Amino acid sequence: MNYSKILKEVKAEVDLLELEGHIANYIPELAKVDPDRFGLHLQCIDGTHFDFGDSQMKFSIQSISKVLSMALAMKLEGVAMWERVDVEPSGNPFNSLIQLEHEHGIPRNPLINAGAIVIADILVSRLANPKVDFLTFVRKLAGSEEIDFDLKVAESEAKTGFTNRALANFLKANFNLKNEVEEVLDFYFHQCSIAMTCRELAETFMVFANHGCLLHNGERMLSASQTKRINAIMQTCGFYDEAGEFSFRVGLPGKSGVGGGIAAIHPQQYSVVVWSPPLNEKGNSAKGMAALELLTTKTGLSIF
């Protein structure tokens, strides 16, 4: 597959599109990001790399981090975690209070905010030094010590995270949060603030394309069964109430974040990360969605 040629075509075609989108300005620090940034990095299972644009610039991965926290929780907690969070698509906005109330404090899946807060609670209980240990896990997946929290973003989220506090308090009231609300949210806000480049994030997501093994050293981080389930949840729940649209248009397991990033994988083929800050009305990168649709269309390959 001539990925160099394909990515050149993808960028040229996306650049011609007139896509409406808005930066996630409800998090003040994210509102400062240049809306014209656009980068993509694709890493193949054979270790080759292809990219364009701003793929070496750090950005806040936001909700893409929920896949990584879910993976670590599955590794530590096993099947017991599914007693506290479900695996069904939400069909609602990522921060819906109504859905959580309707379902009596059991979040619909780990990739909406309420579910990710429950996963954060599990990690706060399980890890000796939660923020440091989680960052160590992410760095290991990425094969890089250059990964870190963006403390300005974490602080910005903490100051404006009123809906997340409401979700956490409702979880606490329904006995689905074991630790103190502010302790769990502090971990959650830091988790979402992690800054990575497209290349670093593509390397990180290779574990999900490679049956749970790190590509850079072969170490097994997750079982094949755990990896299969994580990919299934990404496929059905990774884009909130636009998950069906992403499956229809792109056909890959993936996860978006309001920082403008999308990470996706083709099992045993590649991982790909695209970053463009302006979001569509569902909270997903407008250019990112278009770029990945063109990628799978031009290659003629998806999981379907």
Is residue 304 assigned to a domain?
no
- pLDDT of 6 strictly over 90: yes
Residue 97's pLDDT is 84
The CATH number given to whatever domain includes residue 205 is 3.40.710.10
% of the chain beyond a pLDDT of 70: 100
Q: State the pTM of this model.
A: 0.95
Model confidence at 241, in pLDDT bands (50, 70, 90)? confident
Indicate the length of the chain as a whole number.
304
Which residues are catalytic, by number?
63, 66, 188, 240, 258
Model confidence at 99, in pLDDT bands (50, 70, 90)? confident
Is residue 266 assigned to a domain?
yes
What mean pLDDT is predicted for residues 268-282?
96
Total tally of structural domains belonging to the chain: 1
Which tens digits make up the pLDDT trace of 150-188?
999 999 999 999 999 999 999 999 999 999 999 999 999
Range of the domain at 236: 3-299
Residue 195's pLDDT is 98
- pLDDT of 93 strictly over 80: no
What mean pLDDT is predicted for residues 91-107?
85
User: Nearest CA to 228 among 123, 74, 41?
Assistant: 74
What mean pLDDT is predicted for residues 52-73?
97
The one-letter amino acid code at 104 reads H
Residue 151's pLDDT is 96
Residue 152's pLDDT is 96
Token digits of residue 18? 């007139």
What mean pLDDT is predicted for residues 105-125?
96
Is residue 151 assigned to a domain?
yes
Token digits of residue 201? 């994030």
Which tens digits make up the pLDDT trace of 202-239?
999 999 999 999 998 999 999 999 999 999 999 999 99
